[in-house]
Structure 1
């Protein structure tokens, strides 16, 4: 009995040691992951004297026609290895979520954009920073000769060229891409630009592999719109009740940009036919918000609807679930029919006796 008791105690001790070892291994791995996700470099802007609001850390400059200026960003390598940083300057654009993009995107520049900010700025494409050291990066700005009202908005993006790869718990790898964006706004005049929005096009499409009605909204003025609210209703042509509705708030629209606002079909099949979109868009350029109202007829063709329905991931999932239900119902009916046949055969045998 004493031996059994000692054996039980030994088993409990071994089990507890294994649990502690497992927890220690997990915590060590978690610590490695945390270290792997630390930023390998930092960015500090050196705001010049013509910074409009010196409390801002992004570049918000008051400039003049033909003015040439150098602005500076200080990059610090926080690691014990050399780091190469890719540098890029892009015009600001608006994505489908009503968020301003300062990095490289597939979004096309709007036709109303008079000056693309990359054409006005010269800069190094790459910067190599030694371990645990800093380096200044210079950007040479040359403003157009013609006087410009409104703002020219873009962004400076710093991205690590080589991605750091760290082993994970199960032997796979985690690859981290580090990027840092700084807005660059150039303003020549305090004259207010009257904001304006246009509804360019309404068409069927997809967003994140899900069916939507896309309403292409354009800001053709050199002014940033904030606190944007979109309220949209889609009607079958001539109907009084909308088939699809969408309301989105707290968006922004970059100067001289357009974006495709998605009206979700919420996992339902897209049906061909003639439709009418009624939409209101409210945005603020200065202090007082302004609202635009749009009505536009559009058509969904049978081929378009069929193609989009086939690639909609929600419809595929619903179809697979429906197929499973049909199979289960079929099997249940087959089982009931089989039981009935067995009962009938047994009753006939009893009657013959």
Structure 2
């Protein structure tokens, strides 16, 4: 039960969010959203819904939307199943990520709510969504989030540059459903590992899957990738502030190229060959946890620990293709040597062909001369 409380407290930071879809700062959003928490809530003052329901049970959940502006606004509503983003955070944006195969019950199929709302200036309205628990009894939790997005367009134009910027805001309020409060442990597995690119930079991706109907919070991950025949080629990754949604997966990205400002530097090209990844993951901080490690110079205890080791191969074809697309890699490094070697091989081949041609020619001339001499003697 203690671990359950830890998970609930950790979800607070994920449940009520305001997100600008552009990298633009503004004083405030045009509207606000407040959930009306019912009596069957697991935990109080969480800011999101964590409902204890029986199979087939239906419940209405309500929100109060306030229009803080002096204009009529439209709010688009939707619901998204919980997923893990590529940065290792829990998200609720609808249909942004393909559901993991371990997700047998998709919560969005059990939630109904109006699609668009119109709210008059300085006014408020109540939104009601219908939530139905699946027929079968479930272990652990199923989770998602209500999305409320400002569908009214607010544009500010910079005349000097002719750039038009659109500000839009979204509130996300989480929904967690469960039949009981029995503890279910997260289950972490390492899947495919290999080279890839993110934002035009070479990376090694390692797919992590939490196949259990449970959140994995306070996830502390460290990984090291080394080339088996050259230990000087190694890449590392450390992040003590990650989390995973129930029944979800994501590709952990381990940088290979320079990720920030180059300052005149260039990245080493990705080299083909056999590699090995070693990864350690801790989860769910607990003062009574059985596993411990150092975080920011302090001993930190966790309930869970996983260790993964895996070999993988980067082919020459794949390395060449990725290096060619990575703007931080000096395209002349390595490529000139390949070109030079290729030219040398071609020259040597031509010399060999010429030598064989001359040798054959001389042999033919010698044979012709011999035949002429024989004819004269006859």
Give the alignment's TM-score, normalised by structure 2.
0.71
Cα 1:274–1:47, aligned 2, differ >3 Å: closer, same or farther? same
Paired with 1:306 and 1:139, the residues of 2 have a C-alpha distance of: 52
Cα 1:101–1:75, aligned 2, differ >3 Å: closer, same or farther? same
Q: Secondary structure at the match of 2:310?
A: strand
Cα deviation, 1:5-42, whole Å, max 9, x if unaligned, reads xxxxxxxxxxxxxxxxxxxxxxxxxxxx98x6521111
Greater mean deviation of Cα atoms: 169-178 or 196-205:
169-178
Cα deviation, 1:93-141, whole Å, max 9, x if unaligned, reads 1112111111135321100011111101011111111121111111101
In structure 2, runs of 5+ residues without a counterpart are 1-23, 258-266, 290-302, 334-378
Tell me whether 1:233 sits opposite 2:224 in the alignment: yes
The aligned residue for residue 298 of structure 1 is: 312
Q: Is the 8 A contact 2:68 2:123 kept in 1?
A: yes
The aligned residue for residue 57 of structure 1 is: 47
Note the 1:259-298 alignment, pairs <5 A. 259-266=250-257, 267-284=267-284, 288=289, 289-298=303-312
Q: Is the 8 A contact 2:229 2:274 kept in 1?
A: no
Deviation at 1:167, TM superposition (A): 3.3
Q: Secondary structure at the match of 1:80?
A: coil
Deviation at 1:268, TM superposition (A): 2.5
Q: Is the 8 A contact 1:224 1:285 kept in 2?
A: no
Q: Is the 8 A contact 2:203 2:256 kept in 1?
A: yes
Question: Which among 27, 30, 38 is matched to residue 28 of structure 2?
Answer: 38
Question: Which among 127, 134, 142 is matched to residue 117 of structure 2?
Answer: 127
The aligned residue for residue 195 of structure 1 is: 186
Note the 1:333-352 alignment, pairs <5 A. none
Question: Which among 295, 298, 321 is matched to residue 307 of structure 1?
Answer: 321
Note the 1:177-192 alignment, pairs <5 A. 177-192=168-183
Deviation at 1:169, TM superposition (A): 6.6
Q: Secondary structure at the match of 1:118?
A: helix
Deviation at 1:193, TM superposition (A): 1.2
Greater mean deviation of Cα atoms: 145-154 or 265-274:
265-274
Cα 1:151–1:242, aligned 2, differ >3 Å: closer, same or farther? farther
Q: Whose helix fraction is larger, Structure 1's or Structure 2's?
A: 1
Q: Secondary structure at the match of 1:306?
A: helix
Paired with 2:126 and 2:285, the residues of 1 have a C-alpha distance of: 34
The aligned residue for residue 249 of structure 1 is: 240
Deviation at 1:320, TM superposition (A): 8.8
The aligned residue for residue 370 of structure 2 is: none
Q: Secondary structure at the match of 1:243?
A: strand
Cα deviation, 1:274-312, whole Å, max 9, x if unaligned, reads 111111111128873211111111111122111111111
Question: Which among 199, 211, 223 is matched to residue 214 of structure 2?
Answer: 223
Tell me whether 1:160 sits opposite 2:150 in the alignment: yes
The aligned residue for residue 207 of structure 1 is: 198
Paired with 1:313 and 1:111, the residues of 2 have a C-alpha distance of: 35
The aligned residue for residue 368 of structure 2 is: none
Paired with 1:285 and 1:220, the residues of 2 have a C-alpha distance of: 20
Paired with 1:259 and 1:138, the residues of 2 have a C-alpha distance of: 33
Cα 1:285–1:115, aligned 2, differ >3 Å: closer, same or farther? farther
Give the alignment's TM-score, normalised by structure 1.
0.76
Paired with 1:319 and 1:301, the residues of 2 have a C-alpha distance of: 18
Note the 1:5-44 alignment, pairs <5 A. 37-44=27-34
In structure 1, runs of 5+ residues without a counterpart are 1-32, 322-353
Q: Is the 8 A contact 2:192 2:207 kept in 1?
A: yes
